[in-house]
């Protein structure tokens, strides 16, 4: 999205309820700033993230999608993030294979205690996606203004 | 150079954030050149933090730091005082313009009592 | 009859000063109708993978938008006014298919979207010189060596020959030099010779009519014919005469776009209603497609079959089930 | 070839099975249709096994194995992998199927023959390594190898993984078949080149669903792309996004389950090399999580429903494979 | 059905209102399709705020509620109760987090407001697709498991047991007691650790409701809150617990004398068969298989011969106990970090450089020197002692130490210094500190007494290096206040080593699926409001496994933890989470993908008959056990047909949120 001639990416962050969503809350508690372009969707576990949701986000105009979950081994549901890790690895690889910029998607493990990491991750991700510019390769023009 | 620019220059070239210092003094405790420095490592960090760069630049002590990196090695907060000192030296050298010391001049200046570390450090200081 | 050296096709198309669509090979080597521009070459292949119907009845088109602003809805209709355009190189079968589509879309109630495009089109057909074994246009009385259209074209070794069939066509080729018909006649004779040898060219369709409707409908062999059908839409989508569409909506976030898109009677959700699916199994869907083409359509349209024998479904069906096999299984004695 | 037909007759005559799943003759030599035969007469008249029996019969067994009585199915190596995968997913009632393994020397493709410039082919005969084609325009010859279906040129295995009886010799896996060569080639391209490649390929998609409907792994009761209540229905490939979306998700849904039978590419009326998507997933899972062949056995956990604690991170994509910068 | 949605925007005082224009948010969201009422209020969570919501629900016949406020982690439960009291299903509520994830991170009001509107829109989009949900119920096993038998575990177990519930303590060491048993005196009262701890150990042993599994480890835990199932490995002691009387004769006669005594931190030796200390509970001998000649070489058998009770059993094997529990308490404690990486302090070069815990043993009457302070190197009486604070604590460097303050060092160092000076007035005692942190009750007074009454030299500054030379320890340090570098020849140096969580905690956390922080301390469910619960329901935290603590704090947390456990065990049934997986049987094809990824084994399959156009057909379809499903959603993605969905986080709901956010 262009705001006053400046590109502001749309970022969808899927956060698992137990670690990363709480980590995002902690970032808030500690007043750690990160760009407002990041909007968080709460999911119970990183393994709830269906690849269809990621593609849907891109279709609807997202420029970057990030999944945050508990660190491997710390999943609230024991093994959810291990499955998420494989699914996302393969999906990202496929997107890359189709020539879609590989930096538009990311997975980061953020625990409930890592408010600072959450903010830093979001800052970095927004910066990366801003550099890439608007998502053109996986866009649905019908959904663009 | 303006004051703020100097502070930024020192912070940038050292890559050190002096605010991380918790003032434990372990750097000073560990410094082998303690006696030769009018501003001891922990003070040095504090002065950078307070922006007293020009005062440090005029200090003789900065040339007495051996760059042994003991303070860097032992600092529990990863503050790296020696790198700040190096950055201040650089700031001084940059102001001197092209007044470089040539490597071949160094042997004449050498004193048998000078520690090896200081020679290495001298190269670092003057080849810039 | 007008004549144009092959080498001058580009300058001729350019001189027309309107959009021209012609079959051209895409990078994968398949022919498809492509908007002509400098460098777009006419294909050497017999026919395009998809028929020319796309140009009048595109696979998807928006009909109307419902724009949602807060709690209000604004309705925006899509009525694109077309400019005149030329479809160049339509084979006899596809040209005949236009007439079938016309019967559907131009009869009352007229489909405005289709009519708009149809009215603005000039059709330049291209006679066949090398039919494939899958061709059976002759079964429907189509002469591939002398197709219809506003203008008919023949392509020989080095030249195109054009004959105008309508006033619009006349104007289109008015600027070209006259040419001798003998080359065309020679080619026609040769083509007709091949056409007479087409393996399915004499497909016997007797009995496929309204009078035998229930007999055909209740034939027990639909089961074995439909057994292997995958229920995909390949045959319908490559077919030049299939004209069914679905109307669906897409929510872009602030606008509901109502669009229509090709549908296939082979799909399990075809004509699905709130009460359910009127043709619940693949057998019924399969039967529908062929009954429509061979019985219902001619019964309602002066005996005109809903097939032009282009052979695309014979080539493309993943399991090689097609209208010829159906006609031969359920149809007339003459198929032997 | 006659041996196969003989076996079909024998099985039916002996009462061992009540039906036979095989291929039925067509109008031409190449347009064979999968068919269920119930009488010896039908078999004698129409059963055929030839180099044009490309269609994978396994998927039909989902429905056929649930019917009364036992059915004999003739499965080629490729088909047998699909069969085992379907068994693994509890889609086929095993006891109702009598599997006859048939060896295959690679199936021919009429489109490959036509791509050699042969038009109007009406009949064909094999003479050594050559296919002699009778056409409307006289006789033409094509090397047998050139007539092979694309997928058969990089055949991964001639092994029939499961059978009740076997006609001919069982073959073996061919780890050097080079089936990933094209994938590697694509990986080595830049992201821009890959994007251009796939745009050009996928833009031809007409969403006829042939790839999905033929796929033995796509055996869902209802596909997500047909599901109106789920909000994922997608009937027309309205634009490049929907083309990408459909094919990415379809490939993802069959990842770890796709046996690489190649039917998707065979049936695509637009010749989109869809198998290259599935092979990408297979290549990735092999490289990242260890070799895995769907349908090779009934026990091994497919890579997407498995994990190890030290699996690579998704960031591996940023640094791995072709230098897509 | 079109929902009638109410939107409630909370100011949270100025917490939200300062950077989000709440009025505009309410106004904008009020225009959204389906929204029939929108308002803002200062504190939605207050009594009057909740009443406002309730009256709006009734007045406007709302069918869905969106509250734009703080994180759902904070008040989701509160607001669910609120809407439920007004007659709405509690799951017809969605919360837009506009505080933690919006107002608190954005400084610009325009930015904050815009984002709050988007987040509100997403919540509205989601609530449109919400369906009333009803939670299932599961019974509660009225028994608790306490992992770790230190003072924290003992206290928690005693409190629970006294409330009448059975408790099992699993302790990996041969005796309960933990680190506190190794301490000499305790600050700030200077009462002896053993004197206050051992009676509690005995109580635990005698309490009828407590079963102590010492020398045991938790092998596996399955299940969920109220219904855990644990497998406990009882390691072979080679001594029959039912026969051993704890007379200790074997521990005197065992010929294997050179086993480093871990209770005294290796500063003296014990036998291969041993009882860690006199007051051990249970007081049962244990044979150390690594050193026992009989077990290693098959020769010896002395202990067996002299044991009157016939308790020695060289053939003993590990055994397993399996038990159901309603709640699990983690009390795995801490240990001092290794000093290996701190070469500058010469810990590995000189035995006279000791850690504080070692110093505790050197001062303890039951320790290796029987309570006389002697230099470990030569047994002489040290004259000059240097205490170094914060060794490895507050370190943000490359992984040598820990970034946190270990909390207890300031106080125990003051205690050590004070005790030294008291017992040996001829000593010079220096404490090098960065800050002295003494915020507890009577703590600062205690520290000041050390400095003022006992003449301990407190020097602000750190020790830079220690070099052992000529029997002395050359200490080089800084005195920041005098701006000097000090050189002290010390006889002994005592390092206040940072503490770290028990190394087994990480694997336990994985087993319990309980989150940990980067330092391997267990994370509490909320740092302020739920300090003794873990984020995993039914798992509670007691003592230093959650973070550094001194004894009084540990004990109070242990009791708080017990109270929470009792609260849980008191319930007969637990209302479950209704947000669980649900298969659409019409779409399920029974492929088993979902079952393979379910961590709880909640999915089974059944052959069911379905009416189709071709008659009745039997298909294999997935079934979810609602009592076992925890709602992670792994199955929903494994399912290719989308037949498996998650209530409360359905495919359509999440996609609606995506759409609303990207709009």
Shared domain for E523 and E479, answered yes or no, is no
In chain E, residues with a C-beta closer than 8 Å to the C-beta of C70 are 31-33
pLDDT confidence bin for D324, thresholds 50/70/90: very low
CB proximity D247 to C under 8 Å: no
Of C200-209, E320-329, E451-460, minimum mean pLDDT range: C200-209
* Residue D283 pLDDT exceeds 90: yes
Shared domain for D216 and D91, answered yes or no, is no
- From the CA of E628, how many Å to the nearest CA of chain D? 20
Shared domain for C82 and C141, answered yes or no, is yes
So what's the pLDDT on residue A143?
87
Does a structural domain hold residue E74?
Answer: yes
So what's the pLDDT on residue E574?
87
Shared domain for C100 and C235, answered yes or no, is no
Shared domain for D31 and D162, answered yes or no, is yes
Q: Which CATH architecture has domain A2-136?
A: 3-Layer(aba) Sandwich (3.40)
The answer to whether E662 contacts C254, with C-beta atoms less than 8 Å apart, is no
Please give the average per-residue pLDDT across E411-416, as a whole number: 96
ipTM here: 0.84
Neighbouring CB atoms inside 10 A of E46's CB total 12
Partners of D165 in the β-ladder: D100
pLDDT confidence bin for D95, thresholds 50/70/90: very high
pLDDT digits (tens, 9 = 90+) for D168-184: 899 999 999 999 999 99
Shared domain for D196 and D93, answered yes or no, is no
Please give the average per-residue pLDDT across C56-75, as a whole number: 90
Shared domain for D128 and D189, answered yes or no, is no
D 270-309: CB under 8 A from E: 301-302, 304-306
pLDDT confidence bin for D325, thresholds 50/70/90: very low
In sequence order, the 6+-apart residues with CB closer than 8 A to the CB of C286 are: C222, C225, C226, C229, C266
Shared domain for E105 and E29, answered yes or no, is yes
Shared domain for D189 and D84, answered yes or no, is no
Shared domain for E607 and E636, answered yes or no, is yes
**Of residues E33, E613, E662, nearest to C68 (C-beta):** E33
User: Is the Cβ–Cβ distance between E239 and E253 less than 8 Å?
Assistant: no
Please give the average per-residue pLDDT across E264-286, as a whole number: 95
Q: Domain range for residue E561?
A: 144-189+208-227+320-333+516-570
pLDDT confidence bin for C28, thresholds 50/70/90: confident
CB proximity D27 to E under 8 Å: no
Please give the average per-residue pLDDT across E510-536, as a whole number: 84
Structure tokens at E67: 């509250």
* Mean of all residue pLDDT scores within chain E: 94
Residue where one domain finishes, among candidates C197, C225, C258: C197
* Residue E561 pLDDT exceeds 70: yes
Please give the average per-residue pLDDT across E89-96, as a whole number: 96
User: Is the Cβ–Cβ distance between C318 and C312 less than 8 Å?
Assistant: no
Please tell me which residue of chain B has the smallest CA distance to E344: B74
So what's the pLDDT on residue B128?
42
Shared domain for E292 and E392, answered yes or no, is no
* Residue B127 pLDDT exceeds 60: no
For residue D247, give the nearest of A73, E101, A98 by alpha carbon: A98
Q: Domain range for residue C115?
A: 2-63+78-197
**Of residues A51, A99, A103, nearest to D252 (C-beta):** A51
SS (H, E, C) E277-343: CCCCCCCCCEECCCCCHHHHHCCCCHHHHHCCCCCECCCCCCEEEEEEECEEEECCCEEECCCCCCH
Shared domain for D74 and D125, answered yes or no, is no
So what's the pLDDT on residue E628?
76
CA distance linking residue D144 with residue D317, whole number of Å: 41
Residue C91 half-sphere exposure toward CB, CA atoms < 13 A: 30
* Residue E527 pLDDT exceeds 80: no
Please give the average per-residue pLDDT across E42-55, as a whole number: 95
Maximum CA extent, chain D: 65
Shared domain for E566 and E618, answered yes or no, is no
Shared domain for D121 and D13, answered yes or no, is no
Q: Which of E106, E632, E638 is best to mutate for the A interface (most A CBs within 10 A)?
A: E632
Domain count, chain E: 5
Please give the average per-residue pLDDT across C200-227, as a whole number: 91
pLDDT digits (tens, 9 = 90+) for B44-86: 999 998 889 989 999 888 888 888 889 988 899 888 899 899 8
D 178-207: CB under 8 A from A: 186-187, 191-199
Partners of E211 in the β-ladder: E168
* Residue B99 pLDDT exceeds 90: no
Shared domain for E555 and E456, answered yes or no, is no
Please tell me which residue of chain C has the smallest CA distance to E612: C280
Shared domain for C192 and C214, answered yes or no, is no
Shared domain for E364 and E471, answered yes or no, is yes
Shared domain for D288 and D195, answered yes or no, is yes
The answer to whether E394 contacts B77, with C-beta atoms less than 8 Å apart, is yes
Shared domain for D121 and D102, answered yes or no, is no
User: Is the Cβ–Cβ distance between E505 and E522 less than 8 Å?
Assistant: yes
The answer to whether E344 contacts B30, with C-beta atoms less than 8 Å apart, is yes
- DSSP structural state of residue E39: E
* Residue E530 pLDDT exceeds 60: yes
CA distance linking residue E652 with residue E640, whole number of Å: 15
CA distance linking residue C312 with residue C48, whole number of Å: 9
Shared domain for E182 and E293, answered yes or no, is no
Shared domain for D143 and D89, answered yes or no, is no
Does a structural domain hold residue D227?
Answer: yes
Does a structural domain hold residue C127?
Answer: yes
Shared domain for E340 and E327, answered yes or no, is no
CA distance linking residue D52 with residue D32, whole number of Å: 7
CA distance linking residue D209 with residue E218, whole number of Å: 53
So what's the pLDDT on residue A74?
79
So what's the pLDDT on residue B106?
65
pLDDT confidence bin for E614, thresholds 50/70/90: confident
* Residue D202 pLDDT exceeds 80: yes
Does a structural domain hold residue D325?
Answer: no
In chain D, residues with a C-beta closer than 8 Å to the C-beta of C318 are 55, 210, 213-214, 263, 266-267
Please give the average per-residue pLDDT across D2-8, as a whole number: 92
Residue C119 half-sphere exposure toward CB, CA atoms < 13 A: 13
Does a structural domain hold residue C69?
Answer: no
Does a structural domain hold residue E658?
Answer: no
Low-confidence ranges of chain A (pLDDT < 70): 1, 145
For residue C237, give the nearest of C313, C175, C166, C143 by alpha carbon: C313
Residue where one domain finishes, among candidates C153, C170, C197: C197
Partners of E94 in the β-ladder: E66
* Residue E335 pLDDT exceeds 90: yes
Domain count, chain C: 2
So what's the pLDDT on residue A79?
85
So what's the pLDDT on residue E223?
83
Structure tokens at C42: 């006419």
- From the CA of E624, how many Å to the nearest CA of chain B? 52
Residue by residue, DSSP assigns E3-30 as: --EEEEEE-TTHHHHTTS-HHHHHHHHH
CA distance linking residue C61 with residue C84, whole number of Å: 19
User: Is the Cβ–Cβ distance between E398 and E449 less than 8 Å?
Assistant: no
In chain C, residues with a C-beta closer than 8 Å to the C-beta of E662 are 253
CB proximity A1 to C under 8 Å: no
Does a structural domain hold residue C253?
Answer: yes
Shared domain for D63 and D204, answered yes or no, is no
**Of residues B20, B23, B30, nearest to E465 (C-beta):** B30
Query: Quick check: bond before E188 cis, omega within 30?
Result: yes
* Mean of all residue pLDDT scores within chain C: 92
* Residue E225 pLDDT exceeds 90: no
Work out whether the CA dihedral C234, C240, C242, C246 comes out positive or negative.
positive
Please give the average per-residue pLDDT across E304-323, as a whole number: 95
In chain A, residues with a C-beta closer than 8 Å to the C-beta of D277 are 94, 97
The answer to whether E663 contacts C254, with C-beta atoms less than 8 Å apart, is yes
Shared domain for C86 and C185, answered yes or no, is yes
Please tell me which residue of chain E has the smallest CA distance to A70: E515
Please tell me which residue of chain C has the smallest CA distance to D216: C230
Neighbouring CB atoms inside 10 A of E248's CB total 16
- Strand segments, DSSP code E, in E235-279 are 259-260, 269-270, 273-274
**Of residues D32, D36, D208, nearest to C234 (C-beta):** D208
pLDDT digits (tens, 9 = 90+) for D138-196: 999 999 999 999 999 999 999 999 999 999 899 999 999 999 999 999 999 999 999 99
Does a structural domain hold residue D173?
Answer: no
- DSSP structural state of residue E102: I
For residue C207, give the nearest of C141, C133, C303 by alpha carbon: C303
**Of residues E31, E614, E663, nearest to C70 (C-beta):** E31
Does a structural domain hold residue C172?
Answer: yes
SS3 E607: strand
Q: Chain-centre distance of CA B48, in angstroms?
A: 11
In chain D, residues with a C-beta closer than 8 Å to the C-beta of A138 are 241, 244
CATH number, domain at E66? 3.40.50
Query: Quick check: bond before C218 cis, omega within 30?
Result: no
**Of residues E396, E434, E485, nearest to B28 (C-beta):** E485
Residue where one domain finishes, among candidates C155, C174, C197: C197
Please give the average per-residue pLDDT across E190-200, as a whole number: 93
In sequence order, the 6+-apart residues with CB closer than 8 A to the CB of E539 are: E327, E328, E329, E330, E512, E514, E533
Shared domain for C300 and C221, answered yes or no, is yes
Does a structural domain hold residue E662?
Answer: no
Shared domain for E159 and E69, answered yes or no, is no
The answer to whether E119 contacts A39, with C-beta atoms less than 8 Å apart, is yes
Q: Domain range for residue D84?
A: 2-107+158-167
pLDDT digits (tens, 9 = 90+) for E415-425: 999 999 999 99
Q: Which of A61, A62, A142, A144 is best to mutate for the C interface (most C CBs within 10 A)?
A: A142
- DSSP structural state of residue E602: -
Shared domain for E177 and E52, answered yes or no, is no
Please give the average per-residue pLDDT across B33-40, as a whole number: 90
So what's the pLDDT on residue C37?
94
Neighbouring CB atoms inside 10 A of B128's CB total 12
Please give the average per-residue pLDDT across E186-191, as a whole number: 92
Which chains lie within 8 Å of chain C at 3 or more CB pairs, if any? A, D, E
Where do the structural domains in chain A lie, given as residue ranges?
Answer: 2-136
So what's the pLDDT on residue E256?
93
So what's the pLDDT on residue D322?
47
Shared domain for E347 and E324, answered yes or no, is no
Shared domain for D47 and D114, answered yes or no, is no
pLDDT confidence bin for E384, thresholds 50/70/90: very high
């Amino acid at each position: 999205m262009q705001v006053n001639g400046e590109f502001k990416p749309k970022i969808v962050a899927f956060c698992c309820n137990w670690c990363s969503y709480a980590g995002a809350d902690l970032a808030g508690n500690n007043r750690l700033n990160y760009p407002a372009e990041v909007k968080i969707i709460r999911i119970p576990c990183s393994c709830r993230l269906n690849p269809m949701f990621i593609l849907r986000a891109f279709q609807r105009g997202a420029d970057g999608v990030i999944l945050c979950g508990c660190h491997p081994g710390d999943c609230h549901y024991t093994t959810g993030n291990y499955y998420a890790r494989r699914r996302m690895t393969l999906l990202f690889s496929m997107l890359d294979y189709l020539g879609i910029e590989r930096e538009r998607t990311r997975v980061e493990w953020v625990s409930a205690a890592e408010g600072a990491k959450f903010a830093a991750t979001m800052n970095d991700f927004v910066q990366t996606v801003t550099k890439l510019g608007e998502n053109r390769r996986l866009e649905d023009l019908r959904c663009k203004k | 150079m303006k004051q703020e620019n100097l502070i930024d220059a020192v912070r940038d070239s050292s890559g050190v954030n002096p605010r991380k210092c918790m003032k434990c003094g372990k750097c000073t405790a560990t410094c082998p050149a303690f006696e030769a420095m009018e501003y001891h490592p922990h003070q040095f960090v504090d002065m950078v933090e307070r922006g007293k760069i020009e005062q440090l630049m005029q200090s003789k002590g900065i040339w007495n730091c051996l760059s042994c990196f003991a303070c860097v090695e032992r600092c529990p907060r990863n503050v790296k005082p020696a790198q700040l000192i190096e950055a201040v030296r650089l700031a001084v050298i940059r102001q001197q313009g092209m007044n470089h010391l040539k490597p071949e001049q160094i042997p004449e200046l050498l004193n048998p009592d000078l520690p090896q570390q200081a020679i290495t450090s001298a190269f670092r200081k003057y080849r810039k | 009859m007008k004549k144009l050296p092959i080498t001058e096709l580009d300058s001729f198309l350019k001189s027309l000063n309107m959009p021209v669509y012609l079959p051209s090979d895409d990078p994968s080597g398949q022919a498809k109708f492509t908007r002509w521009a400098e460098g777009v070459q006419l294909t050497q292949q017999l026919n395009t993978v998809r028929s020319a119907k796309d140009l009048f009845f595109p696979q998807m088109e928006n009909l109307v938008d419902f724009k949602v602003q807060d709690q209000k809805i604004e309705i925006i209709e899509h009525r694109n006014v077309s400019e005149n355009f030329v479809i160049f190189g339509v084979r006899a079968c596809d040209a005949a298919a236009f007439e079938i589509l016309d019967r559907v879309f131009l009869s009352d109630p007229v489909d405005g979207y289709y009519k708009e495009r149809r009215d603005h089109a000039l059709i330049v057909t291209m006679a066949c010189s090398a039919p494939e074994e899958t061709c059976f246009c002759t079964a429907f009385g189509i002469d591939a060596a002398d197709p219809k259209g506003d203008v008919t074209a023949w392509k020989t070794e080095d030249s195109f020959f054009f004959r105008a069939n309508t006033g619009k066509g006349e104007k289109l080729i008015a600027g070209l030099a006259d040419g001798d018909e003998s080359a065309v006649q020679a080619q026609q004779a040769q083509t007709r010779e091949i056409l007479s040898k087409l393996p399915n060219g004499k497909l016997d369709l007797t009995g496929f009519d309204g009078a035998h409707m229930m007999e055909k409908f209740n034939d027990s062999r639909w089961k074995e014919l439909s057994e292997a059908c995958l229920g995909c839409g390949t045959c319908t989508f490559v077919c030049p005469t299939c004209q069914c569409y679905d109307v669906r909506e897409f929510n872009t976030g602030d606008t509901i776009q109502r669009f229509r898109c090709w549908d296939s009677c082979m799909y399990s959700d075809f004509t699905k209603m709130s009460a359910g699916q009127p043709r619940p199994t693949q057998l019924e869907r399969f039967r529908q497609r062929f009954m429509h083409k061979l019985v219902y359509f001619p019964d309602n349209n002066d005996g005109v079959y809903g097939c032009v024998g282009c052979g695309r479904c014979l080539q493309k069906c993943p399991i090689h089930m097609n209208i010829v096999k159906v006609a031969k299984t359920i149809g007339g004695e003459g198929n032997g | 070839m006659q041996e196969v037909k003989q076996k079909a007759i024998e099985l039916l005559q002996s009462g061992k099975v009540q039906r036979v799943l095989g291929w039925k003759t067509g109008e031409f030599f190449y347009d064979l249709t999968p068919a269920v035969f119930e009488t010896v007469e039908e078999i004698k008249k129409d059963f055929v096994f030839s180099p044009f029996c490309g269609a994978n019969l396994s998927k039909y067994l989902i429905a056929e194995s649930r019917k009364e009585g036992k059915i004999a199915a003739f499965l080629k190596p490729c088909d047998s992998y699909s069969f085992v995968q379907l068994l693994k997913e509890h889609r086929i009632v095993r006891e109702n199927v009598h599997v006859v393994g048939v060896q295959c020397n690679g199936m021919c493709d009429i489109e490959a023959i036509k791509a050699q410039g042969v038009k109007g082919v009406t009949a064909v005969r094999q003479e050594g390594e050559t296919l002699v084609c009778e056409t409307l325009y006289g006789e033409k010859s094509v090397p047998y190898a050139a007539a092979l279906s694309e997928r058969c040129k990089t055949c991964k295995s001639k092994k029939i993984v499961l059978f009740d009886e076997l006609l001919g010799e069982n073959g073996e896996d061919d780890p050097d078949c080079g089936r990933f060569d094209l994938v590697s080639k694509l990986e080595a391209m830049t992201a821009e080149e890959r994007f251009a490649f796939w745009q050009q390929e996928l833009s031809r998609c007409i969403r006829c669903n042939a790839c999905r409907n033929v796929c033995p792994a796509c055996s869902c009761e209802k596909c997500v792309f047909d599901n109106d209540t789920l909000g994922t229905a997608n009937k027309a490939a309205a634009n490049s996004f929907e083309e990408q979306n459909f094919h990415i998700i379809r490939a993802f849904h069959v990842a770890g389950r796709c046996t690489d039978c190649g039917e998707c590419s065979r049936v695509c009326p637009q010749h989109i090399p869809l198998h290259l998507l599935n092979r990408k997933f297979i290549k990735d899972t092999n490289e990242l999580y260890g070799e895995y062949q769907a349908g090779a056995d009934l026990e091994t956990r497919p890579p997407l429903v498995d994990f190890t604690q030290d699996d690579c991170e998704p960031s591996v994509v940023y640094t791995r494979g072709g230098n897509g910068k | 059905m079109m929902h009638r949605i109410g939107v409630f925007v909370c100011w949270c005082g100025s917490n939200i209102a300062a950077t989000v224009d709440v009025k505009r948010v309410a106004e904008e969201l009020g225009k959204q399709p389906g929204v029939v009422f929108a308002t803002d209020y200062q504190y939605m969570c207050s009594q009057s705020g909740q009443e406002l919501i309730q009256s709006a629900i009734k007045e406007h016949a709302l069918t869905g509620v969106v509250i734009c406020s703080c994180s759902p982690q904070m008040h989701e439960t509160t607001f669910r109760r609120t809407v439920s009291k007004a007659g709405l299903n509690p799951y017809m509520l969605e919360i837009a987090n506009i505080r933690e994830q919006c107002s608190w991170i954005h400084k610009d009001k325009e930015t904050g407001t815009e984002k709050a509107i988007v987040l509100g829109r997403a919540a509205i989009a989601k609530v449109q697709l919400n369906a009333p949900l009803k939670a299932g119920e599961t019974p509660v096993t009225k028994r608790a498991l306490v992992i770790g038998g230190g003072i924290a575990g003992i206290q928690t177990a005693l409190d629970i047991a006294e409330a009448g519930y059975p408790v099992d303590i699993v302790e990996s060491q041969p005796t309960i007691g933990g680190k506190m048993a190794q301490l000499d005196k305790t600050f700030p009262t200077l009462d002896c650790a053993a004197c206050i701890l051992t009676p509690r150990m005995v109580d635990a042993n005698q309490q009828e409701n407590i079963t102590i599994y010492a020398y045991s480890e938790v092998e596996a835990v399955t299940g969920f809150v109220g219904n855990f199932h644990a497998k406990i490995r009882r390691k072979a002691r080679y001594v029959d617990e039912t026969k051993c009387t704890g007379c200790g004769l074997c521990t005197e006669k065992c010929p294997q004398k050179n086993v480093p005594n871990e209770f005294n931190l290796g500063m003296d030796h014990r036998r291969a068969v041993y009882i860690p200390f006199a007051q051990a509970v249970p007081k049962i001998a244990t044979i150390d298989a690594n050193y026992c000649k009989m077990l290693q070489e098959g020769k010896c058998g002395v202990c067996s011969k002299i044991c009157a009770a016939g308790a020695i059993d060289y053939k003993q094997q590990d055994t397993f106990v399996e038990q159901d529990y309603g709640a699990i308490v983690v009390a795995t404690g801490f240990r001092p970090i290794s000093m290996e990486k701190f070469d500058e302090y010469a810990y590995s070069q000189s035995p006279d450089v000791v850690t504080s815990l070692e110093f505790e043993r050197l001062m303890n009457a039951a320790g290796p020197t029987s309570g006389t302070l002697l230099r470990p190197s030569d047994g002489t009486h040290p004259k000059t002692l240097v205490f170094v604070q914060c060794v490895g604590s507050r370190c943000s460097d490359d992984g040598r130490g820990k970034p946190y303050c270990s909390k207890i060092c300031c106080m125990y160092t003051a205690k050590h210094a004070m005790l030294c000076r008291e017992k040996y007035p001829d000593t010079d005692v220096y404490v090098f500190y960065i800050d002295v942190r003494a915020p507890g009750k009577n703590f600062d007074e205690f520290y000041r007494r050390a400095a003022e009454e006992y003449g301990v030299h407190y020097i602000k500054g750190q020790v830079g290096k220690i070099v052992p030379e000529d029997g002395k320890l050359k200490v080089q340090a800084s005195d920041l206040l005098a701006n000097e570098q000090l050189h002290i020849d010390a006889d002994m140096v005592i390092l206040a080593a940072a503490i770290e969580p028990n190394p087994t905690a990480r694997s336990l956390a994985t087993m319990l699926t309980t989150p940990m922080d980067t330092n391997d301390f267990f994370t509490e469910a909320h740092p302020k409001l739920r300090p003794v619960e873990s984020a995993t329901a039914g798992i509670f935290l007691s003592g230093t496994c959650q973070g550094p603590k001194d004894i009084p704090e540990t004990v109070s947390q242990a009791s708080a933890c017990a109270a929470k456990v009792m609260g849980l065990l008191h319930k007969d049934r637990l209302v479950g989470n209704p947000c669980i997986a649900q298969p659409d049987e019409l779409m399920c094809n029974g492929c088993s993908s979902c079952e393979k990824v379910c961590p709880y084994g909640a999915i089974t399959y059944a052959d069911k008959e379905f009416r189709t156009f071709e008659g009745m057909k039997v298909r294999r379809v997935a079934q979810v056990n609602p009592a076992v499903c925890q709602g992670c959603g792994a199955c929903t993605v494994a399912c290719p047909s989308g037949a498996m969905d998650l209530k409360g986080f359905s495919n359509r709901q999440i996609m609606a949120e995506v759409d609303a956010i990207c709009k």
